[in-house]
Amino acid sequence: MKQLLFGDLTFDEMSDKVVKMGQAKFRAAQIYEWIYQKRVNQIDLMTNLPKVFQQQLTEEFIFPGVKQVMKQVSKDKTIKWLLSMQDDANIETVLMPSNYGNTVCVSTQVGCKMGCSFCASTIGGIERNLSSGEMVEQVLHVQRFLDFQKERVSNVVIMGSGEPLDNYNDTIKFIQVINHDKGLNIGQRHITLSTCGVVPRIYDLIKDAPQVTLSVSLHAPNDELRSEIMPINKKHRLVDVIQACRDFVDMTRRRITFEYALIEGKNDLPKHARELAELLNHLMCHVNLIPVNEVAERDNKRTNDNGVEKFKQILEKGGISVTVRKERGADIAAACGQLRAQATKQ
């Protein structure tokens, strides 16, 4: 029998599961409370569960579901963990503390198949999807660390390694588990999902998680350049991505965010900024400009401060709301997938 992680089951699924195990339904609420509110890390500490049931749970569930392999702490207090799964696959999870709370960046896949030209996560391709339980365990791991400081995870960004819309069902289940009021109770509005633009799944998201903040990795203002940087663009063209974004905004009334990594001489020229302003015309959105994180295996140079400022000004002139995103963890393996790539090489 395949052992599960607790986060592989939504609250309703957990209720069904305990009934199948011969227990009353209310045991599901007790289990959720021990895991997500009291945050014990051993089943035998769930003291209001009968001993025989604790034993059954130990046979059917792995708890906790991840092991810490490495932890790097940056001068700016960003912390990056390398976590190991049951099959020894390694993934990254990042904590970014700020004045607005504690944001955890979660990985959804081991590697990524999308092949974006600037990204470290995709260097070795994809190994496998992560289960919702493995995503939940990432947040729990960070929450247990924060418990020592009596702080809580306030925001989750699904922006670590992997493409969440390429692992749709487990990503949705993950959102449901951390969002549940008996779970970690993290509001959908405090969850950001970042995608390279898998168009049909953006429409699914409107039905399944309409209150999450959608962030779309754009990185180029036209098909020719975008297809060169992001191969997914050959399948889902810019016109369809932008239409899906317009529909997302219309149907959810939620502002959308676009990520644009500035690569010197590639996508950072004034003409690109003008083209981008035109593309996003009359769309309720915000653009995050990020000087690209230079990755050793990738031949990309970051745009200098002057170039970033010029690009920003052109967008603003075109009526677009823009922020230059602060680089976090510059002194540690900052770009998504870098720590895992380094660890794999050792």
Residue 154 assigned as binding residue: no
Residues between 188 and 247 that touch ligand SF4 (CB under 6 A): 196, 217
Residue 119 assigned as binding residue: yes
**Which long-range contacts does 169-174 make (Cβ < 8 Å, 24+ apart)?**
170/108, 170/129, 170/130, 170/131, 170/132, 170/135, 171/108, 171/132, 171/135, 172/208, 172/209, 173/8, 173/10, 173/132, 174/7, 174/106, 174/108, 174/132, 174/135, 174/136
| Cα–Cα distance for residue pair 69/241, rounded to 1 Å | 38
SS3 at position 273: helix
Strand partners, 260: 289
Candidate list 4, 292, 315, 332; residue touching ligand SAM; CB under 6 A: 292
- Angle (CA) 210-200-119 rounded to 5° is 90
| Residue 122 binding target from ligand SAM, ligand SF4, none, CB below 5 to 8 Å by type | ligand SF4
> Does 322 participate in binding ligand SAM (rule CB under 6 A)?
no
Interstrand relation of 67-73 and 101-105 (parallel, antiparallel or unpaired): unpaired
Could you tell me the two tokens for 212? 């999450």
Contacts of residue 243, defined as CB under 8 A and 6 or more positions apart, other chains included, come to: none
> Does 122 participate in binding ligand SF4 (rule CB under 6 A)?
yes
> Does 290 participate in binding ligand SAM (rule CB under 6 A)?
yes
Residue 49 assigned as binding residue: no
Half-sphere exposure of 261 (CA within 13 A, CB side): 21
Residues between 175 and 234 that touch ligand SAM (CB under 6 A): 194-196, 217
- Residue (of 3, 18, 10, 127) closest to 64 by Cα position: 3
What letter represents residue 105's amino acid? C
- Annotated active-site residue 285? The verdict is no
Nearer to ligand SAM, 136 or 335 (CB): 335
- Annotated active-site residue 278? The verdict is no
Residue 285 assigned as binding residue: no
- Which residue among 92, 137, 259, 275 is the active-site one? 92
Please count the residues of this chain forming the interface with ligand SAM, following the rule CB under 6 A.
18
Residue 217 assigned as binding residue: yes
| Residue 289 binding target from ligand SAM, ligand SF4, none, CB below 5 to 8 Å by type | none
Alpha carbon distances (Å) from 35 to 115, 147, 190, 341: 36, 13, 21, 31
| Residue 106 binding target from ligand SAM, ligand SF4, none, CB below 5 to 8 Å by type | none
Residue 90 assigned as binding residue: no
Residues between 161 and 190 that touch ligand SF4 (CB under 6 A): 161-163
| Residue 95 binding target from ligand SF4, ligand SAM, none, CB below 5 to 8 Å by type | none
- Residue (of 83, 62, 187, 188) closest to 145 by Cα position: 83
Residue 218 assigned as binding residue: yes
> Does 116 participate in binding ligand SF4 (rule CB under 6 A)?
yes
Residues between 100 and 119 that touch ligand SAM (CB under 6 A): 118-119
| Cα–Cα distance for residue pair 285/87, rounded to 1 Å | 40
| Residue 102 binding target from ligand SAM, ligand SF4, none, CB below 5 to 8 Å by type | none
Q: Phi and psi at residue 256, in whole multiples of 5°?
A: -105, 150
> Does 295 participate in binding ligand SAM (rule CB under 6 A)?
yes
Nearer to ligand SAM, 143 or 195 (CB): 195
> Does 332 participate in binding ligand SF4 (rule CB under 6 A)?
no
> Does 268 participate in binding ligand SAM (rule CB under 6 A)?
no
Strands (E), 206-255: 213-217
Contacts of residue 203, defined as CB under 8 A and 6 or more positions apart, other chains included, come to: 244, 247
Residue 180 assigned as binding residue: no
Q: Active-site positions?
A: 92, 336
Interface with ligand SF4 by CB under 6 A: which residues?
Answer: 112, 114, 116, 119, 121-122, 161-163, 196, 217
Q: Which residue positions form the known binding site?
A: 112, 116, 119, 162-163, 194, 217-219, 293
